[in-house]
Amino acid sequence: MVAEDDEKQAELVRRYLEREGHAVTLVPDGRAAIESVRHKAPDLLVLDVMMPRADGLDVLRVLRAEARELPVLMLTARSTEDDLLLGLDLGADDYMTKPYSPRELMARIRTLLRRTRLSGGVGPAAAALSVGTLVVDPDRHEVTVDGGHIDCTPGEFRILAAMAAEPDRVFTRQRLLEELHGFDRYISNRTVDVHIMNLRKKIEQAPRSPARLLTVFGVGYKLTDPARSTTRASS
């Protein structure tokens, strides 16, 4: 689905997508995008930020509040870091600023669709990853803490899954950015900090005094079992 109020831009993107074999739905404004996603359940949404009747950021807020996990690639004429970080914070999977290369846009879309298919249960089921009472299930694309379900954006999930696969390993920001295809080309390492901050709000009892998702100053972050850390500290 392509949500774009500029008819020429929308038609250009549609032609490129159809050339690669995709069925494409065009919508001209934010409200139409929300309703169309609800009824058509697309595989991916290309979402312009500046649109009438609800801008792209409002569309993203609504879709993520409804726990819709479809990949979202945002298009915008805005290029400041704060705008890009806001899109990321709201749950965008990738972000391109106008003017953009249609060929690069297609490459980004192929990558997002490939990742979605790989995380959607194609092939053998992936084993759930446990770090104490935090469990990341790549096959189901689910996260639980103490048995309770945690809603994560696709970007947050990729970071958490990577860290859960190697508990206690210190991940640099650059390494974590590699889990977020596209963002490292446009904005700074603050993108990782935004994800970490949001994840702490979701998985920590006291986000400002984290026990699971720890900062290793001057290096990066690591995911650990707080019960094991407490045991080591008391022994």
pLDDT value at position 214?
Answer: 96
pLDDT value at position 189?
Answer: 65
pLDDT value at position 130?
Answer: 92
pLDDT value at position 208?
Answer: 93
Q: How far apart are the first and last CA of the chain?
A: 56
Tell me the C-alpha distance between 33 and 26, whole Å.
9
Contacts of 104 (CB under 8 A, 6+ apart): 96
pLDDT value at position 121?
Answer: 41
pLDDT value at position 81?
Answer: 64
Centroid of chain to Cα 2: 18
Tell me the C-alpha distance between 76 and 98, whole Å.
6
In contact, 132 and 228? CB cutoff 8 Å: yes
Tell me the C-alpha distance between 20 and 143, whole Å.
34
Answer whether 0.75 is exceeded by the pTM: no
Question: What is the third-level CATH fold of 2-118?
Answer: Rossmann fold (3.40.50)
In contact, 1 and 45? CB cutoff 8 Å: yes
Domains 2-118 and 129-234 share a fold: no
Task: With a cut of 50, list the residues of the chain below it in pLDDT.
Answer: 121-125, 182-184, 186, 231-235
pLDDT value at position 10?
Answer: 94
CATH code, 129-234: 1.10.10.10
Reduced to 3 DSSP states, what percent helix, strand and coil does the chain have, rounded to the nearest 5?
45, 15, 40
What are the domain boundaries of the chain? 2-118, 129-234
